[in-house]
Structure 1
Amino acid sequence: MNRANLVLYAKASIERGSKSFARASKLFSRQTRERAWLLYCWCRACDDLADGQDHGHGMSKVQNPEKTIAAMRMMTVRAHGGEQTGQPPFDAFGFAAQECGIPLGLAHDMIDGFALDARDWRPETEADLFRYCYHVAGTVGCMMAIVMGVSASNQELLDRACDLGLAFQLANIARDVAEDAEAGRCYLPKTWLAEANIHSDDVMNPDKRDGLVLLVDRLCDRAADYEASARVGATSLPFRSRWAVLAAAGIYGDIARAVKKSEGQSLEQRIYISKSKKFGWIVKAFWQALFAAPRSDRRGLWTRARPA
């Protein structure tokens, strides 16, 4: 496919895989929007390959996951170098990487997160949880910031972009505790589980429900901390990109807020954000983007390892 066809392919991918991101992406300038779609298409494809899914749905067991991860990494390296792979999602990434100067190290870091899942890794500590969230989502925040024009050398601003990815992933984990448990996964740190007297292989035990709800609430609180930090970083972006980021932050932030407000009902039924609330955030984010957010440091927040 040529670039124009890849853009159409990527547009269809984001509209199918994430209506929230698709809606927020429309706030970007045309060039940024197309590049964001190209990057999303690759991220979505890698996630699907790793989890045996189709646009985030229908998780199934992947045969020989190590081979899948190796192939994913090989095609990513080829595409980053400007080669055509014959696989639209990887060729889409190639265009985005070439046009925006996305460092290959960030792509490797994202794939490393899928490699953790491939070997049934589970976090021991809170820092382990944040490190995992960096690999599978914080890296995407960093790459998206570069797509929006942030220099790959601006580590402080990339830290804020990473924080948005962490906020999104923590909200996802909080929402999907029951779904993950059904698939044999648990992203709650073992130290947290020990505090609540919950065994990691028995997370959904009804007798431990109250303790589990408190841990889910803790995830939601952590998501709010990182969302607040990311909002500060958004003030450095061009207006349309700032608007899009603040809209996405609000929409995804509402997932964590709704999970916490449900007082455990999220363990019984999946939390969704209505179309009207999503539209409401697009309007609210417009006004937020007009005014600079209060400055704040990142004291107390986990920080990714920066390149030497």
Structure 2
Amino acid sequence: MVSSELDAAGIDDPALRDAYARCRALNAAHGRTYFLATRLLAPSQRPAIHALYGFARMADDVVDDPDADASPAAVAARLEEVRARMRRGLAGTDPRELVADGEPVVAALADTVSRHGIEHRHLEDFMDSMAMDLTITDYATFNDLARYVHGSAAVIGLQVLPVLGTVGPREEAAPYAADLGVAFQVTNFLRDVGEDLDRGRVYLPRDELAAFGVDRELLAHGRATGRTDPRVRRALAHLVARTRAVYRRAERGIPLLHPVSRPCVRTAHVLYGGILDEIVAADYAVLERRVAVGSGRRAAVALPQLARAVGARWRRPGPAAA
């Protein structure tokens, strides 16, 4: 399967093929919902998506899973090292040279950016947001959170858009792609409140929580005791409703994508939105455990979209082939 995807994408160099295979393995291991949706893309599109995911995962792991004895300064230095390696790749270093230097993920990223004309500023914005995680532990308002979410989420949608392709000018679809990235990110914030607290962070804006009588201390108490206060439930219900509105706005962009790409994005839209359903079904008890969309529901959503994806491939070639 890996070989057929690389063949379809026109990736012939053995070193690059190994680099892309490494990124695919990262996606399969860590991004279950994301990887499932990616399987609905045309084979020629998948390696690029895996490369973008692989780099994002590599940078994110520096921030979220540092060595136990690493100082904040050491983590910051490691993140800047990742940025420097990224810039080296984007500057046109031969991907085979990067692989030889032990940089398979950066090699795949650089090749993907070159093939699809992805703007370098989207990668720089992403790294800026990763750096914010090292010094900022909470946000007063959604406006304050906006810069972080732009770099950590909106630009992900903008990075993948050239790979997905559009039926009209790309700039018309770009705002919706950014919105979908934001919807996914805020869904993560809601699902991972407890885990983020363990890392010393609260991404849910203080003023939104305070309107319901919630603060960091109340969240921490719920995490420690395994009980969710009614005030927390009401705050989360409000934020879930707000996030659903972002999903509705982002959904308007799906018809603007290349037909081959729509089943993938629609599946990701439904499955990630389904995490909000699971939060509600758990009565907002996300401080003590992590909710997830069950495999049965994932299959029920993905299988019909798979049929649509296959049909679309028969009718029209994917963006890369076109």
Q: Give the TM-score category using the shorter length.
A: 0.7 to 0.9
Q: 2 CA distance for matches of 1:33 and 1:137? A: 19
The structure-2 alpha-carbon separation of the partners of 1:128 and 1:156, relative to structure 1 and needing over 3 Å to count, comes to: farther
Q: 2 CA distance for matches of 1:136 and 1:265? A: 25
Deviations 1:22-77 (A, max 9, x none): 11111111121111111111111111122226xxxxx9575322212211211111
Q: Which amino acid aligns with 1:227?
A: Y
Q: Which amino acid aligns with 2:80?
A: A
Is residue 2:77 matched to residue 1:77?
A: no
Q: CA deviation at 1:286?
A: 5.7
Q: CA deviation at 1:211?
A: 1.6
Q: 1 CA distance for matches of 2:204 and 2:141? A: 9
Number of equivalences: 285
Q: Which amino acid aligns with 1:265?
A: A
The structure-2 alpha-carbon separation of the partners of 1:70 and 1:186, relative to structure 1 and needing over 3 Å to count, comes to: same
Is residue 2:138 matched to residue 1:136?
A: no
Q: 2 CA distance for matches of 1:103 and 1:174? A: 30
Per mean C-alpha deviation after superposition, the further-off stretch among 65-74 and 246-255 is 65-74
Per mean C-alpha deviation after superposition, the further-off stretch among 251-260 and 281-290 is 281-290
Q: 2 CA distance for matches of 1:2 and 1:129? A: 40
* TM-score, length-scaled by structure 2: 0.81
Q: In structure 2, the residue corresponding to 1:240 is in which secondary structure? A: coil
Q: 1 CA distance for matches of 2:308 and 2:142? A: 31
Q: Which amino acid aligns with 1:103?
A: E
Equivalent pair of 1:50/1:118 in contact (CA under 8 Å): yes
State the match for 1:175 in structure 2: 191
Q: CA deviation at 1:163?
A: 0.8
Q: 2 CA distance for matches of 1:37 and 1:267? A: 31
Q: CA deviation at 1:164?
A: 0.9
Q: In structure 1, the residue corresponding to 2:173 is in which secondary structure? A: helix
The structure-2 alpha-carbon separation of the partners of 1:284 and 1:219, relative to structure 1 and needing over 3 Å to count, comes to: farther
Equivalent pair of 2:244/2:273 in contact (CA under 8 Å): yes
State the match for 1:67 in structure 2: 77
The structure-2 alpha-carbon separation of the partners of 1:132 and 1:284, relative to structure 1 and needing over 3 Å to count, comes to: farther
Is residue 2:21 matched to residue 1:5?
A: no
Is residue 2:33 matched to residue 1:20?
A: yes
Q: 1 CA distance for matches of 2:22 and 2:307? A: 32
Q: 2 CA distance for matches of 1:231 and 1:218? A: 20
After superposition, residues 1-308 of structure 1 pair within 5 angstroms as 2-52=15-65, 62-63=70-71, 64-83=74-93, 84=95, 85=98, 86=101, 87-150=103-166, 154-206=170-222, 209-285=229-305
State the match for 1:304 in structure 2: none
Q: 1 CA distance for matches of 2:244 and 2:291? A: 17
Equivalent pair of 1:50/1:62 in contact (CA under 8 Å): no
Q: In structure 2, the residue corresponding to 1:188 is in which secondary structure? A: coil
Identity value in percent: 24
Q: Which amino acid aligns with 2:247?
A: E
- When the two chains are superposed, the root-mean-square deviation of aligned CA atoms in Å is 2.5
Q: 1 CA distance for matches of 2:70 and 2:157? A: 26
Q: CA deviation at 1:289?
A: 8.1
Per mean C-alpha deviation after superposition, the further-off stretch among 205-214 and 36-45 is 205-214
State the match for 1:302 in structure 2: none
* TM-score, length-scaled by structure 1: 0.85
